[in-house]
Structure 1
Amino acid sequence: MFDILMFLFESYFHAGRYPNSDKLSRKLSAAGFEDEDIHLALTWLSGLEQLNKANYPSTINESSGRFYADLEIKRMSFEVRRFLTFWEQNKIITPVEREMILDRAVALNRENLPLDKIKLITLMVLWNQRQDLDPLIVEDLLTPADSSCLH
C-alpha cells in the first residue's frame, strides 16, 4: 500500500489532487498494482479524506503534551513518537495534524510502523489538508530515515 501512496504523491503532487476513487482504481490497476493493495489504499485514502481540522476540539492546540495510548505505542516505535513530538514542538505540524497522522497510522492496523512509513503518512496528511508544502519539508519526509547526510 505504501508503494501506492508514493505513486500518488509522485504522480499527482503538482496537480494538487489525485483523481476520484473509480478513476484512480483504473489508473492504479493499469500501473500494475494488485487489486487487494488498491482496495486497501482506497479505503485508507477514504478515511484520510474524511479528516477535517474542524472535527477536533480546539483545546488540542492548547495542550502542552501528548500521552500515547497503549495501542498507539504498539503501532509506533519510540523513534516515531520522538519524530512527531519534534515536529510539533518546532511548529512544523500542529497538534491537530499530529492527531490526524496518528489516526491514519493506527488505521493501518500494523504494529511497530517504521519512521519511513510515518513520514509518508505525514506527507499524505499534510498534502490532503491542501497545505503549501515547503520543499524542504517534502524532502525531509521523502528522505529515508537511515540515510546519511546528502551533500
Structure 2
Amino acid sequence: MFEVLVYLYHNYYTPQACPAADVLARRLAAAGFEHDDIDDALSWLMGLAQSTETFGEFPLTELSNGQRFYTDEEQQRLGVEAIGLIMFLEEGQALSAPLREILIERAMASQESPVSLETMKIIALLVLWSQEIEVDHLIMEELILGEGDRQTH
C-alpha cells in the first residue's frame, strides 16, 4: 500500500492534481500495482481526508507550544522511533497540533505495530503533501532520505 502512496506523492504535485478515484485506480493498475494495494491506498487516502475534515475546524498551520502525551496504546502501536519523528517535526515547526493529530491517526490506521521509521516518514510526507504545507528543506531531506542516502562531511 505505501508503495502506491509514494508513487502518488512523486507523480502528483498536489492532491488536487490526482484524478477521480476510479480513474486513479485504473492508472495505478496500469502502472503495475496490485488491486489490493490500490484499494488499501485509496481507503487510506479517504481516511486522511476524513481526518483532515475532523481537524479542519482548527487552523492546520498554526503552531502551538503545548505538549502531547501519548496513551499506552499509542506508545505501543507507534513505537519510540515514530514518536521521535513526530517530536522532531514539531520542534522543526513542520507540524502544528492538528497536523500532528492527523499524522498520529493515520499512523494508527496502518497495519504496522510498531510503525517503522520509514513508514512514519512516508505517512508524514503524505500528511504534509495533502495539506500542501511547505516544509523547510532540511526537514524534507530528513523525510525523503534513508539512512544509507546521507552523506557525511
Give the TM-score range, shorter chain: 0.7 to 0.9
Cα pair distance change 1:141/1:62, threshold 3 Å: closer
Cα distance in 2 between the residues matched to 1:57 and 1:137 = 21
Once the two structures are superposed, residues 72-107 of structure 1 have per-residue CA deviations (whole angstroms, 9 ceiling, x without a partner) of: 112212121112112212312111111110010111
Q: Percent identity?
A: 35
**Contact (CA 8 Å) 1:75, 1:109: kept in 2 or not?**
no
**Contact (CA 8 Å) 2:63, 2:96: kept in 1 or not?**
yes
Cα pair distance change 1:9/1:148, threshold 3 Å: closer
Once the two structures are superposed, residues 82-138 of structure 1 have per-residue CA deviations (whole angstroms, 9 ceiling, x without a partner) of: 121122123121111111100101111321111111111011001111223444433
Give the counterpart of 1:70 among 48, 69, 72: 72
Superposition RMSD in Å: 2.5
**Contact (CA 8 Å) 2:94, 2:136: kept in 1 or not?**
no
Gaps of 5+ in 2: none
Greater Cα offset, 65-74 or 98-107: 65-74
Moved over 6 A (4+): none
Greater Cα offset, 6-15 or 20-29: 6-15
2:31 matches 1:31 = yes
Alignment map for 1:1-151 (pairs within 5 Å): 1-13=1-13, 17-50=17-50, 51-52=52-53, 53-56=55-58, 62=64, 64-144=66-146, 146-147=147-148, 149-150=150-151
Cα distance in 1 between the residues matched to 2:92 and 2:131 = 19
Cα distance in 2 between the residues matched to 1:107 and 1:63 = 26
Deviation of 1:18 (Å): 1.9
TM, length-normalised to structure 1: 0.85
Cα pair distance change 1:101/1:140, threshold 3 Å: same
Gaps of 5+ in 1: none
TM, length-normalised to structure 2: 0.84
Cα distance in 1 between the residues matched to 2:15 and 2:96 = 25
